[in-house]
Structures are given as C-alpha cells and as structure tokens.
Amino acid sequence: MKLQRKNGLRATALGALALSSALVLTACGSDDNTAPGGGTKTDAASNIKCDGAKGKLLASGSSAQKNAMDLWVKNYMAACSGIEINYKSSSSGEGIVAFNQGTVGFAGSDSALKPEEVEESKKICKSGQGINLPMVGGPIAIGYNLSGVDKLNLDAATIAKIFNGKIKNWNDPAIAKLNEGAKLPDKPIQAFHRSEDSGTTQNLGKYLGATAKADWPYEAEKKWPAPGGQAASGSSGVAAQVKQNDGAIGYFELSYATSQSIPTVNIATGAAAPVEATSENASKAIAAAKVKGTGKDLALDLDYATKAEGAYPIVLVTYEVVCDSGNKPETLGTVKSFLTYTASDEGQKVLSDAGYAPIPAEINAKVRETVAGLK
C-alpha cells in the first residue's frame, strides 16, 4: 500500500507539473495574446478564457482547498498575464467574515452559508445575496503517527471516543478489536484538532453526529466542541503536529496526508471491508449528494452515514461563496473568468491530480451555468 501511495504521489506531481508547463507554453506561444479585459488569452488547448478579467482579485477562506487553489491560481495566472489572484488560506469562518465585510471577491467555505450569513451578505451583494457554489470535493483523512503500525482501522464510535477524550491509549480494547493481529503500543493518544473556526471541523462533526451520536453529543459547528486534546492552526498545522509526534492523531484533507506521507485510518462503515481514504472512494460518497439549496444556491446534502461498498464517508465539499447579483464591477469579470476555469473539465481534472475529488458532473453543470450568470 505504501509503495502504491508513493507511486501515486509521484505521478500526481509529474502530472501537475506537466499540466502547469503546458499552460505556460500555451500562454507564451499565442500570436494574439491580448484579451478584451486586459489579460492574456490562451489557445483552445488550455480552455482558460481571460475575457473580462483585469487587475487583482482577493479571496480567502478554507484551508481545505489550499492545495487545489494553489494549482488553480498558478495555472490561471500562467494563462492570463497581468491578472493577479491572491487567495489567503485561513479558515472557512474567516473567509465568510471577509466576504460579508466586502473585502474579498469570493470566499472558500467547507460549509454552506447559514441563513443569518445569507441575510448579512445582502448588505454587500446590493441586488442579490451570497450563494454556495460547490467546487472542491474530497475526503477528510484521519491521519495518525504510530510507530510500528502501518495499517489502522477505526469506526465512527471509536473515532468519537478518541477525540472526545474517552479513549486515551492506543492499546485500548476498542481499537484492538478493530485491528486483530496488530501490535498496538501501550502509548498515550495525542489528539489534535483545529484551533480556529473550521468547516473541516464542522464536516467531521456532521459525520460523527450522523454515525456515533451516543459518543459525540455535540452540534456540528465550525468551533471545536469537545474537551481536551491539543489545538493547531489550519489543516497544515494539524498535519504538522501529527507528523512530528509519535502517538498523534488528527484530521485534515487527504492532500495534507499524501504530501507529508502521513498514514491514514481506514473507516469501518458497516460495508464488507474498512474503506481507505482516497479520492475515488470519496467520489463514491459525494456522487450521492443532492442539491438542497434553492434558486441559484447549490448547497449540497451529503450522506455521512453511507454504508455503500467502497464509499469513504468522511467527506467535505468546499464552496466558493459569491454574490449571485451585485458583485463589485471591478472584480466581477475576474471572478467569473477564474471560477469558469475552476469549474471546467480542465480545472476539475486538476483536483484528481492533487488528491481531491471532482464535483459530480450533473452538479458541476449547474455550477457552470450559475457562474456564467453572475452579475
């Protein structure tokens, strides 16, 4: 399994490099490279259209999509010279605050806007309101660092008890029962969680609330609800702490685990075999999502309690939060151009290469239509 993962990462890196290089060459090789909006347009091979884009676009929010956003921004700016996209990776909560203060063109959030946040957005979206556009999918990996243990199975109840401080040692009988034959050390568990409001935290809470309510008696909120444990900033901070501490466990998007070679927990869902955290397995769960938003809002309803074979249940969808109408004229063209790329076949292919899960085609078609109609 480790060899496959390393080979997969190598292939991912090479694929991303090849894609980026191709886009740079495309941008440089165009004879007529002046876009109407002042950017640079590419030839048909790249499908990145810079029409209407100009100047600098600020955005912020979810750290879950940071690795995807880094690739998107790099590819887009290589194709559209003179355009600057600055995405600040912070947290979903901070992103929504920035959006509703009018300081960013769009925000990234791993949870859909709450009704009160939508109401607040109407002050910024003068003729409309904030809407959720699902753009990035993927698994929330439970990463661990435990010397001598290369494979670890856990179920929802055990995960809940670990993060709730009820299971404190790695050789606890509940863990041993799920890992017959494994040599679990007599070592304290160091559980790490996010220090700031986080959509990743909220999605983990939704999973635990749907599957282990007796052991996770908390509402699914962005703020970490359980006592104990240790806090770290951002998915990168949690991953770094797990990487550095033998006996540690934490939660973060799969791309953070793969980039740092952190082993991840297989989830016992009630299916025939525990399910590994992979993009493909997360896609099986996300594909069953239904749109619950109304109008142009495309918020999704995910089935965290799925027992479908090979479906990884701890998933999130990151939304790009924009105004359906009333976007600032100086950033509207760039917002539409950039999000048109991220929702394109090419943009979604980047997700697969980076360890994320593309948005299901039927839902993504609605995203493209909505982006095209932003005002």
Tens place of pLDDT for every residue, the chain, 375 residues? 433 433 343 344 333 333 333 333 233 333 333 333 344 444 333 679 998 899 999 999 998 899 899 999 999 999 999 999 999 998 889 999 999 999 999 999 998 999 999 999 999 998 999 999 999 999 999 999 999 999 999 999 999 999 999 999 999 999 999 999 999 999 999 999 999 988 889 999 999 999 999 999 999 998 999 999 999 999 999 999 999 999 999 999 998 999 999 999 999 999 999 999 999 999 899 988 999 999 999 999 999 999 999 999 999 999 999 999 999 999 999 999 999 999 999 999 988 878 788 898 999 999 999 999 999
If you search the block for the tokens 């109304």, which residue do you land on? 294
pLDDT score recorded for residue 28 = 31
Q: Residue 60: helix, strand or coil by DSSP? A: strand
**Partner residues linked to 307 by β-bridges:** none
C-alpha span between 147 and 53 (Å, rounded)? 51
pTM exceeds 0.85, yes or no = no
pLDDT score recorded for residue 353 = 75
pLDDT score recorded for residue 46 = 62
Q: What are phi and psi of 345, to 5 degrees?
A: -55, -40
Retrieve residue 340's tokens: 């048109």
Hey, what long-range contacts does 222-227 have (CB within 8 A, 24 or more apart)? 222/91, 222/92, 222/93, 222/111, 222/197, 222/198, 223/197, 224/193, 224/194, 224/195, 224/198, 226/163, 226/164, 226/165, 226/193, 227/164, 227/165
Measured at the CA of 172, the angle between CA 245 and CA 269, to 5 degrees, comes to: 90
pLDDT score recorded for residue 197 = 87
C-alpha span between 136 and 116 (Å, rounded)? 24
pLDDT score recorded for residue 355 = 79
**Partner residues linked to 249 by β-bridges:** 144, 191
